[in-house]
Structure 1
Amino acid sequence: MKRLLTVFGILVVLAVAAALGGYAYWQQRLAAPIAVEEPTLYQVPAGAGFNQVIRDLEAQGVLEDAWAFKLLARIDPEQMPSLRVGEYRLTPGMSGREVMALLGSNNVVTYSLTVPEGWTFRQMRALLNSAPKLEHRTADMSDEEVMTLLDREGTFPEGWFFPDTYRYHLGMSDVDILSQALNRMERILEQVWAERDDDLTIETPYEALIMASLIERETGAPEERREIAGVFKRRMERGMRLQTDPTVIYGMGERYDGRITRADLREATPYNTYVIDGMPPTPIAMPGRASLEAAVKPLPGETLYFVSRGDGTHHFSRTLREHNNAVNRYIRNR
């Protein structure tokens, strides 16, 4: 009997030792480095479960001991993070545990696209349609359908999307970018309008948006924006037409080929400020914050005209004679 107990004790000790050894080996395999020699992108698709991802990583040769993670998921599922859809960058030296933690984190691979100030909504849509890794939900929609999708049914889209750099990741769509840009423009326009001058000729935030789009399309020189706003304000106060070329171009649409003729200046479109009084009915581009601020804080002065010098800046004049001389100098002679 004593010998039997001794043998049983030895077996227990061996079993415990084997269990401890097995446990140590299991933990070692969980912490082992993954088999990648250079940074590698891995995509967690929508609806993917943990076992599916483990099998996929094993099939790609990233994990050599998938059994260890399957066992972990069975024994202690709370240690396994919830997977997040997206792309992740796996780097040499990462352990399997670190990979699992990464796939449940917000550290997804991101991309960016930049919507320049002064672009039109049509240009923005073309940029979104060409953006890689972005789901193109609106590609076949009309502008009206896009605005309805954004809960702005009946709103003309031009001008309502803030130009900026937007970051996105796999799993996001163009609707996400459009929604961000729309909400940001509405928020900034509200802030800027609250700080407006008291003696403006424009009366609503939407008119400020229209005015800002004209300023944005007229100049890229920061120091000129408020002076151009002042010229427009004084012309409107005196009943003078704005006569700004970008409105002619916008009214021409896709017919514009890079030049404006005298016939174009005389063409009666809803946007041609050489023909219509006041501002056009909608914005003609997406203005940045500086142009929005200029629209509600125009620079006081006496200038009523401006003409491009050809270097991105303008010559401002108080009288028509001075303006004509500037036109001869900077436009006709050139």
Structure 2
Amino acid sequence: MLKVGELALRAGMTVRTLHHYDSLGLLSPSARSSSGNRLYSEADATRLSRIQLLKQNGHSLGQIKQMLEAGSQPPRTLISQQLDSLAAQQRHIEKLRVRLLRLNQKAGKGTLHLGSDWIGTLEMLVLQEEVLSESEVAALQAIEDRLDNLEPSWEALVSDVQSAITAQVSENSLCARTLAWRWMRLVHLTVGEDAELAFKLTLLQRNSQRAQQLNYIHSDMLDWIMVSFTYARLALFSTYLTSSEHEDLASRQLHHLWQWQPLITLAREHQRNGHDITSPGVRELAQQWRRLFRASHYGDDLELERKVRHAYEREPELSKYTGLNNSLLEFINRALAVI
């Protein structure tokens, strides 16, 4: 029988590690001396050798315990489980490799500096990968150069918006509306025509406290921008409506403000998947679209409806930066025509 110190010396590890294995039930001594000291048999030493071998092959202690105690399981089952585990580790390593390659490219172009900056950038990449699909991550990678060039513009704009909020500038002021147009234009330049990507990144920013700490874009800032952008679009209606009609429209737009993004995302999903406009899902989308458009613009006021539709025909800026493009509008209009 070997004392704990003797086994530790023979195995090239610390006594503390053996105590830890004992507490986990991974390797317990076969006996105790009269004074209570741990005593290990040759079988225990053999088990420890197996533990060390499996650990060197990258298995966790929990996995090793499961493998050693799973005598009733067929070897093929255990091997398949370990192959799945190794495949997952390989995917994780590949993701890390891609992230570091992106950071290395930034460093080579001089857009990444020493200090905590690059660590924050790595954190943001990880946060994005948690909410984006592989194709969306690839889309961001494809526009990496453009993102680097836009970074100073984003920093300046975030600073300007924060200053306006601190100064309690009204969302309906010319200053706020100008900032909102700048913001939407920069979002458009960042993600191009991919409104779904823009919506997902906005949702990440709204829900992740860490993302807000990294780039200083907080949820109250996003709210301020969206309300200011609504007023910016409302200003385009002013020459077509009476003051009372304009107030009614403003109230409706602000009340239904947050209902449009998920509906536009759903419409894009149907279009991307090639769903027929007569399918039940697209018909339901068209019904929702019609209800929301009416509720957020004119209700039962037929005269206001006529003026609103006339304004949309004459003011292409009303659809700008809303996530709608000609292709999606055509898809929706065809679906509306069916119902």
Report the TM-score range of the alignment, normalised by the length of the smaller protein: under 0.3
* More helix as a share of residues: 2
- Which protein has the bigger strand share? 1
Q: TM-score, with normalisation over the residues of structure 2?
A: 0.25
Question: TM (normalized to structure 1)?
Answer: 0.26
Larger RCO (CA within 8 A; separation ≥ 6): 1
